[in-house]
């Protein structure tokens, strides 16, 4: 389950921000997760809760902002919306779609006291 290592990465980002900016208690962590990122949100939420125990974000809620998937179709030279990797182009049906967005995961913001 790679969601545990992702949650540990979030913890590291939160701890670094709290330490370097002398922040108080973290109330929420907003995370952007792309639809094509292969991150299971429910598993990440479970791991997030476990990993944050004993730190400045213990009890914080994780808010997820979903980022839609997009790709460049080499056949019809269009940027298209895709909901899963390896789906065909919704315009022309070609499978030559290169993902261009929605593969990322990042901490967008922290809400602190």
Q: What is the pLDDT along the chain (113 residues), one digit of tens a residue?
A: 599 999 999 999 999 999 999 999 999 999 999 999 999 999 999 999 999 999 999 999 999 999 999 999 999 999 999 999 999 999 999 999 999 999 999 999 999 98
Question: Under CATH, which architecture does the 3-112 domain have?
Answer: 2-Layer Sandwich (3.30)
* Residue-level pLDDT at 1: 57
pLDDT for position 68: 95
Coil vs helix vs strand at 94: coil
Residue-wise burial string across 78-105, b where 16 or more C-beta atoms lie within 10 A, e elsewhere? eebebeeeeeebeeeeeeebebebbbeb
What's the predicted TM-score (pTM) here?
0.86
Question: Which residues pair with residue 72 across a beta bridge?
Answer: 79, 98
Residue 8, H or E segment: helix 3-21
């Amino acid at each position: 389950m790679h969601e545990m290592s992702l949650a540990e990465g979030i913890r590291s980002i939160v701890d670094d921000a709290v330490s370097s900016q002398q922040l108080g208690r973290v109330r929420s962590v907003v995370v952007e997760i792309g639809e094509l990122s292969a991150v299971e949100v429910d598993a990440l939420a479970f791991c997030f809760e476990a990993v944050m125990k004993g730190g400045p974000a213990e009890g914080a809620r994780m808010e997820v902002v979903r980022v839609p998937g997009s790709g460049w179709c080499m056949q019809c030279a269009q940027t298209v919306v895709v909901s899963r990797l390896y789906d065909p182009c919704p315009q022309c049906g070609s499978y030559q779609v290169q993902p261009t967005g929605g593969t990322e995961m990042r901490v967008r913001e922290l809400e602190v006291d």
